[in-house]
Structure 1
Amino acid sequence: MLSMLNVGHQWAAGPRRFLFRHTFDRLRSEEAMFVRAEKNVNKLNLSGELMKKESKTLLERAALAEKDMIRGETELK
């Protein structure tokens, strides 16, 4: 019974994915792995730049909203 559970566990999605990934990684050339890593680094850099740009615009919008709120508050007084 225990051995059947162990065999069933080995072919579950997580361990199967782990085994396939490590098997295929061994078959890849170093150049292919380098190109893939370079592509991932470029994606990460692009994502970081987009996040910086978005945070800058959000900070500008927050500053404008704060000015607008203060102006509205002074008009109410």
Structure 2
Amino acid sequence: MFDETKPLYRFYDEVINQKKFEVLDELYAPGYVNHIAPFGLDNSVERVKSWRRSRPLRFPIGISRSITSSNTATNAS
């Protein structure tokens, strides 16, 4: 159903749902620069990791487990 090797799937499943922030090192290019970071703040992937840790997803839903047989979204955590 989902291609688990695709970066978008890995981002949502591994980073958002499983909180594996080290995966961001694999998903972001070496030398990544966040051009929309506020002036004066770190604009590296390390800052992205820090930001992601400090702002958990409000409604964590597992991608592969988000739809039940009745097509109703469920909380998979």
| TM-score for both structures, normalised by structure 2 | 0.22
* Larger radius of gyration between Structure 1 and Structure 2: 1
Higher RCO, 1 or 2 (CA under 8 Å, sep at least 6)? Answer: 2
| TM-score for both structures, normalised by structure 1 | 0.22
